[in-house]
Amino acid sequence: MSSRGYEAVIGIEIHVQLSTKSKMFCADSTAFNGGDNENVSPVSAGMPGTLPVVNKVAVEYAIKTGLALGCNIRKKSIFARKNYFYPDMPKGYQISQYDQPICEGGRVSFKVDGKEKVVGITRAHLEEDAGKSNHHGEYTLINLNRAGIPLLEVVSEPDIRTPAEAAEYGRTIRQIVRYLDVCDGNLEEGSLRCDCNVSVRKEGAEKFGTKVEIKNINSFRFVEKAIEYEIERQIDAVERGEKIIQETRLWDPDKNRTFSMRTKEDAQDYRYFPDPDLLPLLVSDKMIEDIRRVMPELPLVRAKRFQDEHGLPEYDASVLTNEKQIADYYEEVAKESKNFKASSNWIMTELIRELNTANKEITDSPIKAQQLGRLVSLIDNGTISGKIAKTVFQEMWQSGKDAEVIIKEKGLVQITDPAAIEKIVDEVLAANAQNVEDHKSGKKKNLLGFFVGAVMKASKGQANPDLVNKILLEKLK
Ligand code: ADP
Ligand code: MG
């Protein structure tokens, strides 16, 4: 896509906060809601003389993510000191990885407007988070609870070309880390932080333009908007003959624009060097293979299986695999009901609507997967009609009771006895003599639907619709 004869080039860095219990280099808790500076030992506070010790689970999570992104996992990676001053980083450097990161060279694919897009992953490296500065007008307080929480920084190649691709790339990374259960993906709490690097070049030009980094955008919708704005801003500047300066900008969601925060340091300004406190990180083949063996099925593969093995349409497969918990739920419903498409329909329409209205996760659904599966079976075996099933579903949602119990309590079993249905049909026809006449004489066509509706209503929705149709057709001949 081009805009005003220019093409955008975008690369994204995503800080994935790993959901380990303890920090990257010490045993302090990573809990989000701790009291101020509650989770701070001398290591988190960066006291001189303390020694960092690597968190094994964080390393496992990094490997897991690297494998899911198709990266090469380095057998030997190096922790480096990235030196800079910031009040919320008292030791004056951040422990990160530099020229030998744990994961290198992967790719992710996703769809944008129905077209497959592949984005290269340059690297994913382990590092520690900084603390937080809380500004109170004239003074600032430092909270170091976040200092030392493990982050995996996933760096993309500059392969992204449009704001929509950028947002979808972010959603895909979020989906993957949530499937892997290595990060909760909560953007508002900062568990995922996106930095977008944007430059523009004349269409057809080979050389990249100077990039600008937009930092810490906390929703994918804002990723899209911020990049849209930035592309136009840069094109305007280039058209005016100005030079783009390499800088870091922030997104202002209220004013819908980006603004300059600082000019950007180059790598040499950080004076990276291997951290002498930490040995090289060695990962064995066995460790990698052990992790590979317990990797969950990833969204795209799972969606493909739902299409190939369950015969679901692409749309259903994609909605159901959007979140691992929904896909798990669907598989349980389908296993119980043995009706794939009907299971999918009930989840995608009724269940997801109720969950959204109640603002609930599927794992908190009052209707458990097996219960929904049995409801689907009860329709398939003719115990209740699809229409009655909706009423039963509502009752299940309210009470959490089994469908069978509700059907019994309320006497909702479908009427499949032809004699009983004939009786209702006769009553309806008798009460609508004029319409019967009009139908038979051909004066009014298409009254069949009217009669079906009237009979269904008279039976409180319990008559079997096929039988109602059949009997009506005979009587109206
Ligand atoms: P820095 O050293 O400034 O952090 P990197 O080379 O590490 O820069 O790249 C950071 C991110 O910027 C990567 O995601 C990369 O794909 C992207 N990037 C690099 N050059 C450009 C460019 N000219 N335009 C847009 N994005 C770019
Ligand atoms: Mg970088």
In this model, does residue 371 exceed pLDDT 70? Answer: yes
Q: Mean pLDDT across the stretch 184-193? A: 92
Residue 155 Cα: closest atom of ligand 1: 14
Three-state DSSP class for 120?
strand
CA separation for the pair 448, 475 (Å, rounded): 11
Q: How far apart are CA 440 and CA 417, in angstroms?
A: 26
Q: How do residues 224-255 score in pLDDT, each as one tens digit?
A: 999 999 999 999 999 999 999 999 999 998 99
Q: Which ligand is nearest to the CA of 14?
A: 1
Q: Residue 2 has what DSSP assignment? A: -
Confidence of residue 265 (pLDDT cuts 50, 70, 90): low
**Cβ(43)–Cβ(148) under 8 Å?**
yes
Index of the ligand 1 atom closest to the CA of residue 213: 12
Cα-based distances in Å from 239 to 94, 201, 367: 39, 11, 59
Lining ligand 1 with CB less than 6 A are 9-13, 155-158, 197-199, 208, 211, 267
Q: What is the pTM of this model?
A: 0.86
Model confidence band, residue 267 (pLDDT cutoffs 50, 70, 90): low
Report d(CA 128, CA 24) in Å as an integer. 6
426 alpha carbon, distance to own chain's centre: 55
Q: What pLDDT is recorded for position 10?
A: 98
Nearest ligand to the CA of 264 is 1
Residue 154 CA to ligand 2 center (angstroms) comes to 10
User: What are residue 295's DSSP bridge partners?
Assistant: none
Distance CA 249, CA 255 (A): 14
Report the nearest atom of ligand 1 relative to the CA of 198. 25
Task: State which amino acid sits at residue 170.
Answer: G
pLDDT of residue 460: 83
Tokens of 81: 């000191």
Cα–Cα nearest to 324, from 296, 291, 348? 296
Task: Report the residue among 123, 211, 227, 265 best suited for mutation to probe ligand 1: largest number of ligand atoms under 8 A from its CB.
Answer: 211
pLDDT value at residue 465: 86
Asked if pLDDT for residue 301 goes beyond 60, the answer is: yes
Residue 448 has pLDDT above 90, yes or no: no
First to last CA, the chain: 62
B/e letters for 314-335, b = 16+ CB within 10 Å, e = fewer, are eebbbbbbbbbebbebbbbbbe
Ligand nearest to the CA of 166: 1
Q: Which domains, from first to last, does the chain contain?
A: 2-290 (no CATH), 297-410 (no CATH), 418-475 (1.10.10.410)
Label residue 173 by pLDDT band (50, 70, 90).
Answer: very high
The 10s digit of each residue's pLDDT in 389-418 is 999 999 999 999 999 999 988 888 888 889
Q: Are 362 and 355 in contact (CB under 8 A)?
A: yes
**Reduced to 3 states, what is the DSSP secondary structure of residue 147?**
coil
Whether the CA torsion 452, 454, 456, 461 is positive or negative: it is positive
The closest residue, in CA terms, to atom 22 on ligand 1 is 211
- Closest residue to atom 7 of ligand 1, CA basis: 155
Do residues 133 and 90 touch, judged by C-beta distance below 8 A?
Answer: no
- Closest among 132, 154, 169 to 62, alpha carbons compared: 154
